[in-house]
Amino acid sequence: MTHVVCEPCSGCKYTDCVVVCPVECFYEGDQMLYIHPEECIDCEACVPECPVEAIFHEDNVPEEWNSYIELNAEKSESDECEVITEKKEPLCDD
């Protein structure tokens, strides 16, 4: 089981979640973050840190965002995204 970053992160890309991740399973894309499903240990440390509530357990992803389960898997394994471990400025204004 894993956690999934969903639509609310798109265009915001807050990185509060990455600094609490004990296994460094977050990957940075142009518009949002992604969680690698095989690296996530399901600790839930990231969930309360997300100010836009974009992180869900894969079993609890809202139906309209189910496509983000596969998107996280694809993007986190692609060459276009790199591991992110430090907090950065978000894309949107606070």
In-domain check, residue 47: yes
10-residue stretch averages of pLDDT, the chain, 94 residues long: 95 96 97 97 97 97 98 95 96 74
Residue with tokens 């969903």: 6
* Burial track 46-74 (b if 16+ CB lie within 10 A, e otherwise): beeebebebbbebeebeeebeebbebbbe
In-domain check, residue 92: no
Six token digits for residue 43: 């600790």
Domain CATH code at residue 54:
3.30.70.20
Boundaries of domain holding 65: 3-83
Q: What is the domain count for the chain?
A: 1
Residue 85: per-residue pLDDT: 96
Residue 94: per-residue pLDDT: 57
Q: By C-alpha distance, which of 53, 62, 10 is closest to 34?
A: 10
